Structure 1
Amino acid sequence: MSNQQHQGLPVAGYKPQSDEKVALVNENKELEERILRQMDRLAALPAGTVDPRWFSIGRTAIENGFMALNRSIFQPGRASLPEDLPAHRAHDDLGRVA
């Protein structure tokens, strides 16, 4: 296995990722796409076959679940803001000056 680091997304809070983590997330993305395509087939069934309210709840739950799995692997951090304390000042986990 490679120890190559992929650059993080150019989005605040994202960091470089290993080949292994990228592969895991790509596997999850493939699984998610297969499930979403099955859901597309269900959505195309004649009216009344699938309850649209529960279908929507289920789709949202699946999308949220995969998002949570992928975030658990990539572990993005919080974004820094211009008004954040300078790095040389000590502060606790809540951002308060210690």
Structure 2
Amino acid sequence: MSTKEADAFSPDTKHAPLPVAGYTVQSGDRVAIVNINKQIEEEVLRRVDDLARHGAVDGRWLSIGKTHLEQAFMAINRAVFKPERVKLPGDDLPPPASSDAA
């Protein structure tokens, strides 16, 4: 690994957020954690692909299992990156006056 690559995973390195609303600056530690998760995910999904090629499995359940694995890794990575909710137009407006007619 080059010095530049090693610096990218330094806990002090800050990575710009994805150009997607809600994503924030991430530390090198968090990026490293998610990259490890992505590698583990790929290894598991390749095992699922091997099972699909084998042919002696129930393809419907294998597909369901693959989808759940993908969802699990997405949820785990969201837990690490902690994307925020986004603002919508009008969020800065004051709430409407109460119309209680008592």
Q: Counterpart amino acid of 2:31? A: V
Measured after TM superposition, the shift of residue 57 of structure 1 is 1.2
Determine the C-alpha separation between the residues in 2 that align with 1:2 and 1:23. Answer: 9
Report percent identity of matched pairs. Answer: 48
Task: Tell me the TM-score normalised to structure 1 length.
Answer: 0.81
Q: Counterpart amino acid of 2:59? A: P
Determine the C-alpha separation between the residues in 2 that align with 1:73 and 1:7. Answer: 15
Q: Work out which of the two has the higher radius of gyration on C-alpha atoms and give 1 or 2.
A: 2
Structure 2, unmatched stretches of 5+, are 1-9, 98-102
Task: Tell me the TM-score normalised to structure 2 length.
Answer: 0.78
Higher helix share: 2
How large is the Cα RMSD of the aligned pairs?
2.0
Among 70, 74, 89, the residue aligned to 1:67: 74
Runs of 4+ off more than 2 Å: none
Structure 1, unmatched stretches of 5+, are none
